[in-house]
Chain A
Amino acid sequence: MSSTTTLTEKPGEPGKPSELGSGRRLLRGLPWLVVRQHRIALACVLGLTLFTALWIAYERHELVQLLDARGWPEKDPGRPMENNRGYEYITNVINSLPLILAVFVGAPLIAGDQESGTAQLVTTQSVTRRQWLITKLGLAYGLALISGLALSALFTWWWKPHRSLFLSEWIDGVIFDNTGPVLPAFLLFLTAAGVTIGALVRRMLPAMVGTFLFTSVTTVFVWDEIRVRLGSPHMFTYPKDTELPARFHDVHELDRWVGSADGTLYGWGTCAEATDEAQNACIEEHGIVNDVIEYLDYGQMATMQWTAAGILLAGTVVLTAFTLWWTSRRPL
């Protein structure tokens, strides 16, 4: 391609052949610009999503074949998910997706343009600052949504029919956060957080570091605490020294208590004394006749997931509104 031919082409004129090919002509104006600017990030995230999606489909296919061969669910299939490399890798990828989107897509989204001055370049063309910001946010959120919806749907499709075989409980982060509406909401929220941190910091590298720390703290410490508080726990009382009924085996146990006949609850270790005599005396004294289990059951999962998604989406809306307000009142 010689410089002359490139330059004599008129990029703005429809109907003329362009060296960019006809596929890209679908995009015009600002969407073209933000896709062109972020095409590497876009390709990486979409590529990773596609790769993981295909891998999930493959792993599920393998599992179904294995289970068919072993006559599941009538017969015991063994433990097909134990030491399952594919499952480990896939969950690692999905678990790191929020971090990738927040740090590499969210944080540099506005901070990068502010640092390099291209924010000024774009907003001194014939587009308003708000139009530009909305297009940029649209790209980042669109990416988070596509990636989140696709992987969540496939992971749910893999896990849900076979959940008894998976080693993780439904309340564990690896299942709860990566299925249903939670994964897309999570990706949206953390992307928005990255964008907000970037808009505040206005420098790409500090924004990325800040977003990394925020994402790590949120996913590792804060969210684990929030997740188990999303459902209201149930209580089940059964006579002391009897087995817990089998239907409670797949509930998520939050706490155990001991209780007296009048319903007073005492901590599980209340009568953990050194000798049997002392223990019996303690049990007599408090009138303990029951064991009590406080739990979340699987039936609550859907409600909890939608509650989680609601909280995260509300957070996304708040962060987005703040970013738009903040960046519109300050020089870029």
Chain B
Amino acid sequence: MADTSTPNATSGNWALEARGLGKRYRRGWALRDCSFRIPAGRICGLVGPNGAGKSTLLGLATRQVQPTTGELRVFGVPVDDPAVLPQVAFLGQDKPLFKRFTVAETLRMGAELNPGWDAAAAERIVRAGNVPGDAKVGTLSGGQRTRVAFALAFGKRPDLLLLDEPMSDLDPLARDEMSTLLMAEAVERGTTVVMSSHLLTELEDMCDYLLVVSEGRIRMAGDADALVPAHTLVTGVSRDGSLPPELAGHTVVESRVQGRQFQAMIRPGGPLPADWERAEPSLEEVLLAHLRSPDAPSLYTQGARVDAEGTQAA
């Protein structure tokens, strides 16, 4: 398995580290028993259906939500320590800004509230989009407002940037522009990015690390390059309309019998019978299979998992 995702054991190299993290609302658990780590410097996609707990997870990381159980560390510092604040920037789904502030005032807010404010970077981002500085934020277009929100986030010079569906309300052109901006800024600074998204193609292009959440639990965590090759899509002849017993030696994520044929997404546990046709699935196929089958066993690549005591489970 690829080992690129495993920095050495010092916890400062983990941008985000959760142990037994859980959040219960009145209506039930939004997130339960989550243990994972995200290495620093990666672009991590947070994937899951609506209501899976993605926003709760981001809320916990931005201190908007307090955990019911477990703990979350940001670069090794507990998230409830105010020292975390300057390190993390957050861009919510609806990118709230003060509508009556001008763009210049919005950037001034960034300067006033953040000790490490990088005015030049923030202004560069705004200027690149030809957003007038004396325009009220309320009068800007969706793309322009997103740009200002990005400028505010990057001007903070965060080590960890959390994005909750950042592109969902943008047209394709603005989306492309923002993705390019995001990648350029993040790569230049070595910023760790965690972004939730519905758009699997967006994730495939941008992310090199994945955290798949479904029904409040972690389904998969790890290197995108390692997660996909761990799966094989097999097709073979079914026995009397049911799955062949040879599948028992492997981890079946999802399976389907169609007439005399069966098809299964598996994580091979050993050599496969020669008469099975095998194919490497795409990232999208792997994600969809996991999201469709919440009972399938979770998959962590090396280093992505932490057990309750905090030692690395290989």
Q: Interface on A for B, CB 8 Å cutoff?
A: 1, 3-4, 6-13, 19-20, 28-30, 32-33, 36-37, 116-118, 120-129, 329, 331-332
Contact A11 B107 (CB under 8 A): yes
Beta-carbon nearest neighbor of B99 in chain A: A116
A129 to B116, CA, bound (A): 19
Contact A10 B119 (CB under 8 A): yes
Beta-carbon nearest neighbor of A13 in chain B: B119
Beta-carbon nearest neighbor of A121 in chain B: B96
Using an 8 Å CB-CB cutoff, how does the interface string of B108-142 with A read, 1 for contact, 0 for none? Answer: 11111111110110010011000111110000000
Contact B96 A117 (CB under 8 A): yes
Complex A-B: 27 CB contacts under 8 Å: A6-B103, A7-B133, A8-B123, A10-B111, A11-B108, A11-B112, A13-B119, A20-B108, A32-B108, A33-B109, A33-B112, A36-B101, A36-B109, A116-B96, A116-B99, A124-B62, A124-B64, A124-B88, A125-B85, A125-B109, A125-B110, A125-B113, A126-B113, A126-B156, A127-B113, A331-B59, A332-B64
Assign chain B's interface to a size class.
Answer: 35 or more
> What A residues does B110 contact at CB under 8 A?
125
CB of B6, distance to nearest CB on chain A (Å): 30
Beta-carbon nearest neighbor of A30 in chain B: B113
Q: Apart from A12-B117, A120-B64, what 14 extra A-B contacts exist at CB < 8 Å?
A: A7-B103, A7-B123, A11-B108, A11-B111, A11-B112, A12-B111, A12-B112, A13-B119, A121-B92, A124-B62, A124-B64, A125-B110, A128-B82, A329-B66
A280 to B86, CA, bound (A): 88
Contact for A126 among B85, B107, B119, B127, CB less than 8 A: B85
> What A residues does B88 contact at CB under 8 A?
124
Contact A11 B85 (CB under 8 A): no
> What B residues does A20 contact at CB under 8 A?
105, 108
Beta-carbon nearest neighbor of A329 in chain B: B66
- Smallest CB-CB A-B distances: 9 pairs: A117-B96, A6-B133, A12-B111, A11-B108, A125-B113, A3-B132, A10-B119, A124-B90, A126-B86
B276 contacts A by Cβ under 8 Å: no
Contact for B104 among A11, A121, A331, CB less than 8 A: A11
A332 to B62, CA, bound (A): 11
A12 to B107, CA, bound (A): 9
Contact B89 A118 (CB under 8 A): no
> What B residues does A128 contact at CB under 8 A?
82, 85
CB of A20, distance to nearest CB on chain B (Å): 8
Using an 8 Å CB-CB cutoff, how does the interface string of B204-235 with A read, 1 for contact, 0 for none? Answer: 00000000000000000000000000000000
Contact B156 A118 (CB under 8 A): no
CB of B97, distance to nearest CB on chain A (Å): 6
Beta-carbon nearest neighbor of B124 in chain A: A7
CB of B299, distance to nearest CB on chain A (Å): 30
CB of B274, distance to nearest CB on chain A (Å): 55
Interface centre among B64, B114, B127 (most CB of A within 10 A): B64
